[in-house]
Amino acid sequence: MVRAMTMDDYDDVYALWMSIHGFGIRSVDDSREGIERFIKRNPGLSAVDVEDGKIVGAILCGHDGRRACLYHVCVSEEYRMHGIGKKMVLFCYEALKKEKINKVCLNAFVTNEVGNKFWQKMGWTLRDDMNYYDHTLNEENLTIFNK
């Protein structure tokens, strides 16, 4: 069952993130305080999927008033290929439409073969007409990848 993520879900969502091979966690942004800030700024937009009494999927979803972005889209490896990812994405789409947001973006690591196949199957367009830039404002916000 897909529902909106709340801060009560943080520990279970964090455990899910840590269980996924190759998943990148940011030391500041993905901390309890970082996720609480994100959820408060974007209430009702992020999603979790609960199966067998546990969280098996999660998406962080937010927008800036013009464009939305999906972050940390994941499904527990043993629950993949059951439509959970698609249901969560559709939940986020509907929540964003209520906010009158018309476009959604995301970043997927090139090495994330499972994720990239999923987004292509969902009809997302891989852009080759622009460059992606970022600039780090907090050097302590490190990305650590699960092994």
For the chain, which residues make up each domain, given as ranges? 2-145
Token pair in block for residue 85: 């990812």
Per-residue pLDDT at 72: 96
Per-residue pLDDT at 43: 97
Confidence of residue 135 (pLDDT cuts 50, 70, 90): confident
pLDDT at 110 over 80: yes
Residues in Cβ contact with 83 at an 8 Å cutoff, skipping those fewer than 6 apart: none
Confidence of residue 1 (pLDDT cuts 50, 70, 90): very high
- What's the rounded mean pLDDT across residues 125-144? 81
Radius of gyration of the chain (CA): 15
- What's the rounded mean pLDDT across residues 31-56? 97
Q: How far is CA 110 from CA 19, 81, 126, in A?
A: 20, 21, 11
Per-residue pLDDT at 131: 80
pLDDT at 136 over 90: no
pLDDT at 109 over 90: no
Q: Dihedral (C-alpha) 141, 107, 60, 101: value to the nearest 10 degrees?
A: 120
- The domain made up of 2-145 has a fold known as Aminopeptidase (3.40.630)
